[in-house]
Structure 1
Amino acid sequence: MKKPTDLESRILEILDSNIRLIQYSVYTVGLIGLAIIARSTHIFNKFTSAKSVPREFIRKAVKLQGKVNGIEYCQLPLQQVEGHQPNYALRFNVEHIPIARLLPWKDRKALEKSFLLDIELVGVHLTTLEGVDNLIKIPVESNPTIWFRLYGLNCETNHIYASIFLKRAWWKFWVERDLALIILKQNKGIVSPYLTNSQHIYFNEKYPAYYRKLLYCEIKYRKL
């Protein structure tokens, strides 16, 4: 066996005497790397307003999780709808649930509305409020945790356009639970006018394909 040189012996001696320091250095570098990744991906961030959501998330149509704290049916001005029947925009006040949590949070009985995301169901307006409690309110109250996919942002009103996915029952895991499609299939709504990007409104590149999907569903299930 080859005998180590003086230089090699000295290096081994230094490594042996500083093994703890080397280990801690490796751990520190690893933690710094994880911190950089976490900061760039926002996995620990809790979004409390439309402005806090990274524009990149909207551009990539990221799917996020949240808890519904309220539902609003906002009647649209008659000049914005066809015919004489009122249409309603469906909006949710949602508490965002981060992708990952560092520490368990204490549940608060009430959360200020200013810390909730204002999410409008994208692409579909309700044409009636009759029966929507059974269709929307009761399922959401029984399972307030939802998923929503980001499609756009209104910078003027600070609400987010997104598709809403209700929690699936375990025995119906194959059933589509996209709320917009459910509303169209039940003939409770219509596809809203297509909004284009402007100074105050932004939609990502994936929205046109989703909008076409809504139009196809409306034509398929429209009552004659």
Structure 2
Amino acid sequence: MKKPTDLESRILEILDNNIRLIQYSVYAVGLIGLAVIARSTHIFSKFTSTKSVPREFIRKAVKLQGKVNGIEYYQLPLQQVEGCHPNYALRFNIEHIPIAKLLPWRKKKVVEKSFLLNIELVGVHLTTLEGVDNVIKLPLESNPTIWFRLYGLNCETDHMYASIFLKRTWWKLWSEKDLSLIILKQNKGIVSPYLPNSQQIYFNEKYPAYYRKLLYCEIKYRKL
């Protein structure tokens, strides 16, 4: 068997005498790498306002999870409505749920409205408030946890545009229902104008394809 050279012997001796230091250094590098990944992906971040949401998330149409804390029916100005019947924008106050929690056992507290995300349902306006509680509020009362995909941002009113996905009943745990499609199928709303005429409003590149999907659904289920 070949004997190690003096250089190899010294290296082995250094490794043997500093094995703990080397192990801790490897652990430290790993933790630093995880911290960098967590910071770039916002895996532990809880967004409490429109400004706290990275603009890259809106640009890439990222899908986030949240809990609905309130619903508002905002009546649109008459100049934005075709015909004489009022239309309504559907707005949600949503508590964002991070991808991962550092303290999952921590007791939940009531979240103030100022720390909730303001989300407007994108692409669809309600044409009536009659019967909408059965379509919107009842499913959310049984399960207020939702997913929402970001499509745009209104800098003037400080709210975001997103599609809302309701969770199905317990026997379909992984199924989701697009709220906009539900409203159109039940003839409770119409597809909104494509792009509002304002420099304060931004929509990402994913929105046109989703808008076409809404138009197809409206045409298919529209009552003659």
Q: TM-score, normalised by structure 2?
A: 0.96
Between the aligned partners of 1:221 and 1:170, the Cα distance in structure 2 is: 27
Q: Deviating runs (4+, > 4 A) in structure 1?
A: 172-176
Spell out, residue by residue over 1:25-73, the C-alpha distance to the aligned partner (whole angstroms, 9 max, x if none).
0000011011111111111110001111001000110000000000101
Instruction: Please state how far the C-alpha of 1:170 moved relative to its aligned partner.
Output: 3.8
Aligned to 1:14: 14
What are the superposed Cα offsets for residues 129-164 of structure 1, whole Å, 9 maximum, x if unpaired? 111111100101110000000000001111010000
Matched, 1:107 2:108: yes
1:192 is matched with which residue?
192
Aligned residues: 223
Percent of aligned pairs with the same residue? 87
Residue in structure 2 matched with residue 69 of structure 1 by the alignment: 69
User: SS of the counterpart of 1:34?
Assistant: helix
Provide the residue aligned with 1:50 in structure 2: 50
Please provide the CA RMSD for this pair: 1.4
Q: The residue matched to 1:177 in structure 2 has which SS?
A: strand
Residues in 1 aligned to 2:55 and 2:176: alpha-carbon distance in whole angstroms: 28
Distance 1:34 1:156, change over 3 A: same
Q: Secondary structure at the match of 1:56?
A: helix
Q: What SS does the corresponding residue of 2:22 show, helix, strand or coil?
A: helix
Which residue number in structure 2 is paired with residue 151 of structure 1? 151
What is the identity, as a one-letter code, of the residue corresponding to 1:200?
A: Q
8 Å CA contact retained: 2:119, 2:160? yes
Question: What secondary structure does 1:151 align onto?
Answer: strand
1:76-155 equivalence runs, <5 A = 76-104=76-104, 105-108=106-109, 110-155=110-155
Aligned-partner Cα distance in 1 for 2:173–2:69: 25
Q: Which moved more, 1:132-141 or 1:192-201?
A: 192-201
Is the alpha carbon distance of 1:23 and 1:176 closer, same or farther for their aligned partners in structure 2, counting shifts above 3 Å?
closer
Q: Do the aligned partners of residues 122 and 66 (structure 1) sit closer, same or farther apart at CA in structure 2, a change above 3 Å counting?
A: same
Q: Give me the whole-angstrom Cα distance separating, in 2, the residues matched to 1:141 and 1:58.
A: 28
Larger mean CA deviation between 172-181 and 15-24 belongs to 172-181
Match of 1:206 in 2: 206
CA contact (8 A) 1:58 1:151 kept: yes
Q: Distance in 2 between matches of 1:176 and 1:23?
A: 46
> SS of the residue aligned with 1:79?
helix
Q: Counterpart amino acid of 1:3? A: K
Distance 2:36 2:197 in 1: 33
Shift in CA distance, 185/174, structure 1 to aligned 2, threshold 3 Å: farther
Q: Which runs of 5+ in 1 are unaligned?
A: none
Secondary structure class of the residue paired with 2:31: helix
The code of the aligned residue for 2:151 comes to Y
Partner of 1:27 in structure 2? 27
Determine the structure 1 residue equivalent to 2:180.
180
